[in-house]
């Protein structure tokens, strides 16, 4: 219970918020990269504890939200095949494709199964040699090592009926794309602590230097986030732009050596499309040549799919920090968790879901005027 209570102390949180209020002398915009951080901020009211000088902008760090619509449609096509057992984490089942989701495929007779680890899918492949078992491998640097291990294990066991639909994305290229956008307002980043725990911090100093932006690796509990904000504001006020580690109990400079070795063996960097954002160069992973035989996209030849995004959905602007979820005209009306237009409304890390579940339907200014 140490880390559940120690980093949720209300009095310590108020002291940190007071310190931020003391040092913030002008308006600053800080982006928290990870959707898990966004949910913690909204759930704990951290944004409402901050002075008006500090604005938090929600970033694109939700693996479900950024999985391209075309990839969702490919998953639906593969999962509909009678010879396939399609395995996924549960949060992908309600993500809408162009016309339906994986739950609908399952209701129509598709063999769609929720697993709790990619290794569960490998086990299913070993137990069902007459079926094709496909795992939906999405996510950031946090989930990629386990997925890499699953493919590695499948090859070592000689499983010819296992494959993976890969849609892994990398955080630093997305941060750079945001900073390079014409209307970028981000002046500092709270880097996602779990990503940094895998990859280390070495990839961030060039970014901080090139764009003169402070980057603070931050955890997910209230005090973690407030301390990250405090350090970011302190740097901005001092005119500094360096990388800091505010999550030392999990993050090191070098990262996780074993995970990095597995990633380097199984994956190679590639251009990758992000839902609502577009293609970001060298922002994703695909299976390397040695493991290409396990690529479900090639095995099932799911090409020529024309994805159709809802014209009402503004999730792409939410993911880039251009608007807040409740500023989307469809938020809470045409788009709800029961009738989602985009992944940001159904994902457990989606910014729209956070605003909906915690009742953030109006801007603070609008609330104050009522």
Q: Chain-wide mean pLDDT for the chain?
A: 93
Q: How far is CA 279 from CA 116, 194, 271, in A?
A: 29, 24, 7
- 63 pLDDT above the threshold of 90: no
pTM > 0.85: yes or no: yes
pLDDT single digits (tens) 275-329: 888 899 999 999 999 999 999 999 999 878 888 888 898 988 888 888 899 999 9
- Residue range 45-71: mean pLDDT, rounded: 92
Rg (the chain; Cα; Å): 21
Phi, psi of 315 (to 5 degrees): -60, -35
Position 368 confidence tier, pLDDT thresholds 50, 70, 90: low
Q: Do the Cβ atoms of 46 and 225 come closer than 8 Å?
A: yes
In angstroms, rounded to a whole number, what is the distance separating the alpha carbons of residues 25 and 127? Answer: 63
- 170 pLDDT above the threshold of 60: yes
- 110 pLDDT above the threshold of 70: yes
DSSP codes of every residue in 89-148? -GGGTT---SS--HHHHHHTT-EEEE-SSHHHHHHHHHH-TTSEEEEEEEESTTTHHHHH
- 366 pLDDT above the threshold of 80: no
Q: Do the Cβ atoms of 102 and 148 come closer than 8 Å?
A: no
Check residue 370 and give its pLDDT. Answer: 46
Max distance between CA atoms of the chain, in angstroms, equals 66
Q: How many CB atoms lie within 10 A of CB 323?
A: 17
What are the residues whose beta carbons fall under 8 Å from the beta carbon of 102, sequence distance 6 or more?
75, 76, 79, 86, 88, 92, 93, 94, 95, 110, 112
Report the alpha-carbon angle 255-29-360, nearest 5. 100
Six token digits for residue 332: 């809470």
- 3 pLDDT above the threshold of 70: no
Which residue has 């890499």 as its token pair?
Answer: 148
In the chain, what percentage of residues exceed pLDDT 70? Answer: 97
In angstroms, rounded to a whole number, what is the distance separating the alpha carbons of residues 102 and 91? Answer: 10
- 369 pLDDT above the threshold of 70: no
Domains in the chain with CATH codes: 65-169+255-300 (3.40.50.11740)
Strands 132-139 vs 162-169: parallel, antiparallel or unpaired: parallel
């Amino acid at each position: 219970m140490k880390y559940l209570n120690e980093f949720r102390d209300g009095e310590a949180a108020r002291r940190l918020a007071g310190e931020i209020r003391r040092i913030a002398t002008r308006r600053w915009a800080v982006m928290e990269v990870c959707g898990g951080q966004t949910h913690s901020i909204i759930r704990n009211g951290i944004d409402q504890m901050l002075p008006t000088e500090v604005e938090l902008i929600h970033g694109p760090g939700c693996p479900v939200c950024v999985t391209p619509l075309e990839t969702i449609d490919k998953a639906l096509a593969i999962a509909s095949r009678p010879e396939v057992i399609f395995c996924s984490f549960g949060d992908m089942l309600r993500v809408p494709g162009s016309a339906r989701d994986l739950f609908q495929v399952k209701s129509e007779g598709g063999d769609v199964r929720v697993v709790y680890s990619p290794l569960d899918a490998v086990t299913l492949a070993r137990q069902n040699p007459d079926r094709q078992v496909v795992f939906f491998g999405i996510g950031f640097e946090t989930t990629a090592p386990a997925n890499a291990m699953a493919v590695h294990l499948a090859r070592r066991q000689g499983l010819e009926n296992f494959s993976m639909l890969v849609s892994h994305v990398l955080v630093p290229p997305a941060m750079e794309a945001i900073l390079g956008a014409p209307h970028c307002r981000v002046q500092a980043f709270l880097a996602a602590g779990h990503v940094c725990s895998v990859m280390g911090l070495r990839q961030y100093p060039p970014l901080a230097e090139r764009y003169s932006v402070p980057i603070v690796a931050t955890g997910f509990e209230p005090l973690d986030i407030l301390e990250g904000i405090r350090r970011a504001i302190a740097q901005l006020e001092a005119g500094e732009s360096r990388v800091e580690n505010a999550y030392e109990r999990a993050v090191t400079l070098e990262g996780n050596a074993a995970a990095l070795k597995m990633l380097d063996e199984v994956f190679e960097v590639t251009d990758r499309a992000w839902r609502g954002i577009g293609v970001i160069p060298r922002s994703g992973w695909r299976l390397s040549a040695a493991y290409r035989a396990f690529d479900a996209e090639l095995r099932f030849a799911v090409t020529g799919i024309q994805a159709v995004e809802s014209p009402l959905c503004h999730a792409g602007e939410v993911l880039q920090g251009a608007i807040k979820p409740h500023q989307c005209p469809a938020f809470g009306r045409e788009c709800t968790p029961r009738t989602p237009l985009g992944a940001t409304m159904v994902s457990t890390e989606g910014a729209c879901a956070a605003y909906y579940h915690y009742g953030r339907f109006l801007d603070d200014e609008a609330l104050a005027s009522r």
